Amino acid sequence: MGIKIIKTGKALPEYILTNRELEELVDTDNDWIVERTGISNRRVAIKESNLDLSLKAAEMCLKGYDRSKVDLVIVSTITPDKLVPCMGSLLKRDLNLENAIAFDLNAACSGFIYGVWTAEALMKVNNFRSALVIGSECLTRITNWEDRGTCVLFGDGAGCALLERDDNETGIISSFIKNYDDPKEVLACGMEYRKRPFDSEDFSYQPMLIEMAGTQVFKFAVNAINEVMDNAIKDTGLTYEDIAFFVPHQANMRIINAASQKTGQDITKFQVSIKDTGNVSSASVPMALHDLMVSGKVKKGDKIMLMGFGGGLSAGAIIYQV
Ligand code: UT7
């Protein structure tokens, strides 16, 4: 039995924040950002909520689809609109998915990969017919707009994939997921819990803002992406030449270039969407996958590898056949 990815969707907020505008906010310049990251613009959700974006991406997947078949909704996010109800519950309600079990998952920028991995397992064990896996983020909500080392990187958006059980076709071929410890918390975001009546006067909380030791995370990322790629392909009988397209997390163009060099695969096989979206955490991979699927380049039977890495520290790769 195969679990196939049969449809994708994507939604971006309206407001475009350019590198030039960032030059007004912090001590940075367009050339540095383009050269060091590959980012020119990113979107900021001003009018839109996380739910608006994820609904829009999910509706693209569900257009013309029998919604009663959707048995599972997994939303990967670190920036939900509310803790309760979770984003999955809100989506299930607003999409009228009467049969779906819905929940949220947090694996930072690897979240979509973890979501597809979880969905595949649950679909097989429970005989679910189809599932929506969504990565949706309003990262600009938790961005420190005074920190030039991070505020130039992040953006908002949502991506979605519709998975369907198929008794005759292959679908997902292989997955490899790995967690690495982060003793120094090189990539972290606190929770702004309020002081309780019982807390001592020196009560303090970590602000709810992303903090990142960029160079350390960069080093982790270039190693982790290759480790999960190598492990995902290892026992499949495939080589990198057999993979038609690679869809990496869009954190930094230099990380994507490094993966292309280490695997010996031409950069044109890697989907690059970072220029106009920046790093959108768990939404990056499904949005980039959607860009690839609508590009007209993908043929039936092609094998695609999805790769994620990020906070936790976490990483994962999935190979599937279209
Ligand atoms: O999505 C989860 C995973 N995240 C990632 O994978 C991100 C990984 N990290 C990165 O992509 C890169 O480390 C960054 C893009 C965040 C930073 O690039 P870098 O080449 O590692 O730069 P750096 O932090 O080593 O800084 C180099 C210089 C420093 O100046 P000095 O000390 O050499 O004088 C920084 O202060 O660049 C400076 N700098 C900037 N200059 C202009 C840092 N940020 C900026 C900026 N504009 N926005």
Listed residues 153, 168, 183: the one ending a domain: 168
Same domain? For 163 and 32 the reply is: yes
Active site residues: 109, 249, 279
The predicted-structure confidence for 43-52, as pLDDT tens digits, reads as follows 999 999 999 9
For ligand 1, the distance from its centroid to the CA atom of residue 80, given in whole angstroms, is 27
Split at pLDDT 50, 70, 90, the class of 106 is: very high
Is the Cβ atom of 28 under 6 angstroms away from ligand 1? yes
- Residue 194's SS3 state is coil
- CB distance 257 to ligand 1 below 6 Å: no
Encoded tokens for 282: 């768990």
Question: 241 and 104 in one domain?
Answer: no
Of the candidates 168, 184, 199, which is a domain's last residue? 168
Predicted model pTM: 0.97
Confidence of residue 108 (pLDDT cuts 50, 70, 90): very high
pLDDT of residue 210: 97
What is the number of structural domains in the chain? 2
CA atoms within 13 A on the CB side of 253: 18
Model confidence over 247-282: pLDDT tens digits?
999 999 999 999 999 999 999 999 999 999 999 999
User: Using one digit for the tens of pLDDT, what is the confidence trace for 172-201?
Assistant: 999 999 999 999 999 999 999 989 999 999
Q: Taking all residues of the chain, what is their mean pLDDT, rounded to a whole number?
A: 97
Q: Which domain holds residue 294?
A: 173-321
Domain match, 154 and 228 both = no
Peptide bond into 85 cis (omega under 30): yes
Please give the share of the chain, as a percent, with pLDDT higher than 70: 100
Q: What is the CATH number of the domain that holds 60?
A: 3.40.47.10
Residue-wise pLDDT for 206-260, tens only, equals: 899 999 999 999 999 999 999 999 999 999 999 999 999 999 999 999 999 999 9
Picking from 142, 168, 194, the residue at the C-terminal end of a domain is 168
What is the amino acid identity at position 235? D
For residue 186, CA distances in Å to 40, 183, 221, 270 come to 25, 8, 12, 27
151 lines ligand 1 (CB under 6 A): no
Query: Would the CB of 214 count as within 6 Å of ligand 1?
Result: yes
Instruction: Specify whether the CB–CB gap between 268 and 291 falls below 8 A.
Output: no
**Residue whose CA is at the smallest distance from ligand 1 atom 47:** 28
Rounded CA-CA distance 249/284 in Å is: 6
Structure tokens at 61: 């997947």
∠ at Cα 8 (240, 264), nearest 5°?
15
CA atoms within 13 A on the CB side of 83: 3
> 1 falls in which pLDDT band (50, 70, 90)?
confident
Same domain for 157 and 194, yes or no, is no
